[in-house]
Structures are given as structure tokens and as C-alpha cells.
Structure 1
Amino acid sequence: MTDIDLRAAINAVSDVVQNRPQPLREFDQIYMKTGDMILQSEFVSRWAHGKRLAFVGDGDAISVCVAYLASRNILETSPTQITVFDFDERIVNAVKRFAAAEGVTNLDAVLYNVLDGVPDEIERFDCFYTNPPWGASNKGESVQLFTQRGFELLAYEGDGMIVIADDEDLDWPKQVLHATQRHALEAGFFVSRMSPQLHSYHLDDAPDLKSCNLVLSSLPQNGRPVKSVPRRGVDLEHFYGRDQIPRVRYVRDKGGPDGAGVQRGYEFDMLGEDE
């Protein structure tokens, strides 16, 4: 980690956290602790410096931290463009609201659900970042789908960072890591770096569970045409946890008060019965 003004960084991340909507546990929205957010943001800013970076979901608001810390000259590195793709309109609006209020010009957000294919009109990115549902009940299928959308946003050529559970005393994180790495290899990517047991979370039922950074890089000349198709069906029946079948296309923002600890209202756009 490069030397930064720690007080300025903490205060800036506090601004981001103040703007962030409350997590919805039924969708595995579990937020990283603030100190780790600072370290993670600094690492991501260096890793993606000068590149177009896509976030496939971003409840933690690491995207906002990276862009904001750079705009305040707390970090010396930054992606040229950061775009968040998230199915929660509260998160999308929070990103847009913060970027507008703080004059952060390289930050944007798009309403998008990984269950749908990546739209053809989206321009290719250089790298992607995702902290998906960790797949304890689905053998990593949820991680693989978020990762697959990342590959498609790159057209299979570039780099990705996956934040995934990492615990020496539990079996399922090892199984998910194995499945994720196998999926990456099949897509023409290899593990170029791994930082184990790096992040802590506000997780009541497993307060000691940590996550790692799994960094992937594509093989040379790995780019290919993208055929992005929707995903539905029983193979995703434990997507958000045991027996938690995806039924929601979008979490819609109903507005309401903002601020730390204050829940913005929301409602669900459901998937069709035939989906």
C-alpha cells in the first residue's frame, strides 16, 4: 500500500458510507468494514489505473470510494472510467447521486441484473470487479454467474478481481474457490494473484468469516465474440442461500430519507412466471 493521508481517507470513506443504502440480507448484501474498504480501494485504484473498470454489483460501494478518493487527491491512481452494474436501484441511484454531488466525473451506474444477458450496446471494459453472493449453498454457482458477466463485459480479454470467502477452517469456501478457478480456466483466464483472508464484514452469524482477492488475467489473444444469454431455472435454486431461488429482477428505489442507518423505501420488480 502506498502512503496516504489516513485521516483524509477515513473521512472520505465515511462520506461514502453515509450515502450507501442499508443492505438487504435476503440478497446476500453484506458490507465490508470501513478499514478494509480503505485498503481495498487503494489496491483497486492501483490495479485498474488508467483502465475502464466495470463493477458487477457493488453494495460495498468500493467503486465510489475509488473514484472519490482519487478526485480528492487522496489516491494518486485511478481508473479512467468506473461503471457499476447492479440490480438494486437504490445502489444505482446512490452512486449517481454521490457522483453528481461531489463532481466525480468518471463514475456512473446502470440498472442491470446478472440473470439477464449483457446488452450488446455496452462498450467493452478493460477489467471487472465483483463481490458476489459467496455460494455456500450452491457450490459457487452464484460466484460463477457474476464472474461470467465480468468476462463478457471484457469480451474475454483483460483482468478481473473476485472477492470471495476464504476460511481455513471451513470446507465450502475451498470448494467455491476451486469451482471458481476451474470456471476461469475454462474461459481462458488464470489466477495471476491471490491475497488471502483480507477483508472482514458486518456479518452477525459469522463475524470471523473473511474474504480474499482472487485476481484473474486472460491468456494472450483470448478475446472472442460475446454471446451473453439469460440464466434461469432450478440450477440457481440456492442462488442467494439455501432455497433462495431468484425471483426479483430489480429492487426499485421508492425514495425517502437518506443518511447513515436510515432505510430508503424499496419495492420489487419480479421476474415473470415463465422465467
Structure 2
Amino acid sequence: MSVINSGTIGLGGRSVHRLGFGAMRITGDGIWGPPRDHDEAIRVLRRAVELGVDFIDTADSYGPYVSEDLIREALHDGTGYGDVVIATKGGLTRSGPNVWPPLGRPEYLRQCILMSLRRLGVDTLDLWQLHRIDPKTPRDEQFGEIKSFVDEGLARQIGLSEVGVDEIRAALDFGIPVASVQNRYNLGDRRAEDVLDFCEARGIAFIPWAPVNAGTLARPGGPLDKVAAAHGGASTAQLALAWLLRRSPVMVPIPGTSSVAHLEDNLGAADVRLTDEEFALLAGAA
């Protein structure tokens, strides 16, 4: 399997395949601390690139810092990451497992990007994303600082996460060249449909997080199971990802895992071609 058949999109200043890798799960339980198996985490990252993945998404809050450190250890060639686009995020703080309060004060956002640059070992980030808009900090203060990251050459492109259409419009009106939006979206949770449509109309990459969470559709005997039978026993994760890839040309799923075997199964989604009827069946069931 490889990601070659997933199609491509412009992101981070380059053309990347539309099936990437999310590097959240290579950390410890609760996305806190180091992974249980450090060597397997390194193998996962390197195997992803071997299979053609050229877009990896992480965040300074994953660990915190652990995911970025592992990416550098596994993939940095001494000068950078070659043809692989590394995207990271900032704007959350961590005080323990599964705790993620946002903090959008400009000085903190600047600290986030400067430390990510240092940990990843680069002078410019391909894509830096605001992990959440902080409701306690004036939005324009956050947008002003983020815009300066591009103006100063700290980041090539900027993305937003968990935002609505009005917030994307506000960022664009502020002069931020929004290149990507990362919202929760999958077969079982399509509340961000309007955001996806907005991104597609404007050529903004849409990065769905939790992309393989299909809910009850993945139950034995459910819609995904039935479609799998027509695809040589393809896994429900592969079908869920294949549906996303077909849903929109700006869709960039980033399934994550801490296992090489699971990684290889996920990336097999690039070779699954749903018929019109199968695509409609799954869309209707959801």
C-alpha cells in the first residue's frame, strides 16, 4: 500500500498527498508523556514516509513537546525534512493527561512558535496552526500576532482549528492567508459540513481530526461491514478514510496511530475506490 492514489493538494508551499499522518498518538496515555514503546513510535514515523506520506501533523501540546521531539529524531536529515511537510499547532496549555485549556495571549503564541521551530530544528515552519481561538483573549490580538508569523518568515502558511465559517471569514478579512482548517469530521460526525463546503469553495485544505471514528456505522453487520465485503474485506477504517477522500478534493485525512501495522492498514485506504452507490449508501447512513 502507499498514499500515491490519494490525490494531491497544495499545502505548506508544496504539493502533498491527501492522506497524511497525525502524530498525536505516538505519545503516552492521555497524550501525556513519552510513548510506551519509543522505538515503535520512531518506526511508525519512518514507515509512514517510506509509504509516501509527505504531510505530518503534530502540535506542541502533544506530550507536551514529545511528538515534535520524536518527529525530529525520526525524520530530520540534518538540514530539515526534505519533501515532507511538517505542520504543527500552538495555543493550548497542558497541566496533565487529557487537559487542554486554550491560551491565546500574543506573547504565549509567539513562545509556542519559537519553541516549535527549535524543537523541530527548522528556521521556518511549513504550516503553523492556531489550535483553538482563546475566548478570553481579544480575537484580533490573536490574529495580529499570527499574521506577523508569516510576515516575519517564521511560518510559510497559517491554519486554524475548530473554527466556524464566521471565524474563518474574520481571519481572511484580517489579512491572514488561511491555508488550512482542522475540525472534527468523520462519517459519524459531520457537524462541520458547512465549514468543509466553505473551505472547498475557497481552495482551503480541510484536515479532519478523528477521521476514522465512524460510530455505529462500524458495528458488525453495519453499513461499513456490508461495503467491506465488496472490497475484499477492506477494514472499516479504510472505508471511512476512502469515503472522506472522495467527499471533497480539499479533504486531507490524518489518521494517527502508535502501531506500524495499524498505520499500514490506514494507508491502504488510498487504494480503495468506492462506487457511486457505496458512497451514497455511507453518506445516507451517517
**TM-score bucket (shorter structure):** 0.3 to 0.5
Which structure shows the higher strand fraction? 1
Q: How high is the TM-score relative to the length of structure 2?
A: 0.32
Greater share of helix residues, 1 or 2? 2
**TM-score scaled by length of structure 1:** 0.33
